[in-house]
Structure 1
Amino acid sequence: MAINTDQLLDSARRLRAEVGDNIHDRLTASIYAEAEQIASRAVTQSGQRSRFDFDRTLDRILTSKTWGFPAMFVLLMGVFWLTIAGANIPSQMLSTLLLDWGYAWLHQLAATLNAPAWLSGLLIDGVYMATAWVIAVMLPPMAIFFPLFTLLEDFGYLPRVAFNLDRLFHRAGAHGKQALTMVMGYGCNAAGVVATRIIESPRERLIAIITNNFSICNGRWPTLILMGTIFIGAAAPPFLASFVAAGSVVAVALLGVVVTLLVSAFLSRTWLKGETSTFSLELPPYRPPRVWQT
């Protein structure tokens, strides 16, 4: 295709007028400003009082050998408690709407239409009741848990979890990047398995693939929350029910981490022996969670 030189030159002149004559100066100034900002955060001069750095201050707590794991436990406990406590009211409302009113109304409609008993039993007692139970019981926890988990990811906390677990995976004879794939597995096991391609060693990649199943994917979270609420939380006093239920779910999640480490250590010392690779992780800066995009 032939290029019209006149049109190309006209476009260049128009763009030149839009960006202004000092475009090179502005580009250079922006580069130096960015470099100065990076240097001011990374370099401390003698006799100068160090500036407050939000990322470093928070990392001293969240990635600390002393406070890193307790902070992780508290955050997970808070997420599950908000999920369980916050899902009670919408679950009750949906149960009343779908199971009490909707079920009775559909039976009245079937009786008015003289529907056969086998048809009303199949559609109302079978299909409708099963769907209504799933919506009333599992939809509210999912609608609360997944946005909270996404907010933690947007904030930049999940890479800190992988950083805290790196030392444990190294002792288990696995690659440190397995911590990243395991954390991704808590959102989706399929994504966690696909993410194991970032592990260069075939041996360590296979360990990560095998053990990713012990991460609780998003399809199992609502079931665990439901079971923790019904069987564990119901056995506690009413004012502690939500905390006990949340604690039981956190215990299951931590059990998955422990089993992952144990199986990884077993595989790396038996059938999948080999030298452990080194791992370097760049922690991203903390960012405000994108609430409205979640």
Structure 2
Amino acid sequence: MSPTLNHSESPLINIHEDGHVHTRLCNHATGEMEEYVEQAVQKGLARIVFLEHLETGIDYYPPSWLGDEEFTYYFQEGARLQERFAGLIEIQLGVELGFNPEATAVILEKLTQYPFARVGISCHFYRYKNIHLNLLSRRRQSLDQLAAIGTDKVISTYLHTLIEAVCSVPCNVLCHLDAVLRHLPGVRFTDEHVELIYQLLDAMHEHAVALEINTSGFDYRGKAFPVPWIIAAALQRGISLRAGSDAHRPSEVGRHFDRLPDLLNTAQHSQS
């Protein structure tokens, strides 16, 4: 077992499962599926969940998600790897579904076309006139346009979209809840945003949707997505937690999972 995972366990989360991994198939990550599995085995993980991107009705270039051809390969290669690594690690093939409220019917149809073992919900794009702006991009042009629209408005729309997604799409986990505008300095949640987050968590509890603790946040901002007070509010509602590295390179599989027990201990104590 890798030393990075040889730490005290937390009863709140399984740090031997990486539930959020991407590959070169999504057009903005690197590495083959097999390389990610090999890294997971080296780090002592018991399960790895590929959560490749699916977007519908999004006008954005270059595309940062898989098309039908890529998904066909995804499942073929995934089946080969499941056979090759049988007995060493469990491999699941899931999807990170970027919710577009204008394409709900198409989304539901897409979900019936593939045997996804896990469906993660996220929202990556904000509709502006006839185009879509990437809410998680570091592109200066996108950040400037989103700032000009108004960060409070953008964040409110983002949270309303996630609430609608959880209530209208069969899903298992909500990804990187507070990663919106992660590359825009000085972003803060207003009282309205906090209330929307509570509504989102209530909807997650009602629909049995888990909350992802996304450890990529340690690299982006020095703390995981979401922040401890959101984790504490989720725990108060009995929402399950899932660990995800959001790896976009093989070396990032299981990154910072050793920090999760302390993080959750802090969040748990902040409930009182």
TM-score by length of 1: 0.22
Q: Whose helix fraction is larger, Structure 1's or Structure 2's?
A: 1
- Structure number with the bigger relative contact order (C-alpha 8 A, sep ≥ 6) is 2
Q: Which has the higher strand share?
A: 2
Q: Which has the larger radius of gyration?
A: 1
